[in-house]
Copies of this chain bind each other. A is one copy, B any other.
Amino acid sequence: MSATPLSMAAPQSFPMRYGVLLYPGFQALDVFGPLDVFTSLSQFHPLHLSIISKTMDPIPTKLGASQNGSQFAQSVLPTHTFENAPPLDILLVPGGLGNRPPSDMEPYILYIQAVYPDLKYLLTVCTGSYLAARTGILDGKRATTNKKAFREIATAYPKVNWVAQARWVADENIWTSSGVAAGMDLALSFIAKVYGDDLATSISDSLEYERHEDADWDPFATRHGLV
């Protein structure tokens, strides 16, 4: 018998329920790079997105004014709080300066710990893996993170097998990417792996994004003195 065509595959076999965790001071491109890729995917698969935060208040990219007087924040509306967020197949955790001390990230860490056992995949971008590391679920797993923050994070969480030179790392159901723009390559490679390579190519062509398909491609590890 011939193989079942993709269009005949059971739709429920594909992850559909996406969530993104947002906190004040998130890095916008960590979120909207992957989300634009998944928005494109939602034309081909029926996907649902929840934008999850501690409260329903708009979530700004900046914590207060910049020291040099810059006012350059953007604010995104959540759709759910930790209390009423629906079950998810995939949780995307972005990075951003807002997840560093003295920010109280405890509610976010508890949420990740609570939902991880029921997720199909956890995806982190940039220092999103710093948040994931604080939950303990990266212990014993391979992971990467923003290259400028790499040494500090790797030193603080030595039970994680941090990979210095990687555009992204996939270990079981946890995918972690390097800094900011690397999230787009993570998202496209995730789609190639889970939904099919043709879809990933079609989406990157449509977004006019030159995708890096090699997980080891990482000139920034060198530029930031890590290798």
| A residues neighboring B (CB under 8 Å) | 18, 27-29, 31-33, 35-36, 38-39, 42-49, 51, 58, 61, 66, 68-77, 146-148, 178-182, 184, 205-210, 212, 219-220, 223-224
Contacts and interface: CB of A to CB of B under 8 A. Distances in A.
28 contacts: A27-B36, A28-B32, A28-B35, A29-B32, A31-B32, A32-B33, A32-B74, A33-B33, A36-B180, A42-B66, A42-B72, A43-B66, A46-B68, A47-B70, A48-B70, A48-B71, A48-B72, A49-B71, A49-B72, A74-B76, A74-B77, A75-B77, A76-B77, A146-B208, A147-B208, A148-B206, A179-B207, A181-B184
A205 to B, nearest CB: 5
A45 to B, nearest CB: 8
Nearest to A68: B46
Copies of this chain present:
2
A224 B205 CA distance: 9
Contacts of A206: 148, 179-180
A38 B72 contact: yes
A92 B81 CA distance: 32
B148 A29 contact: no
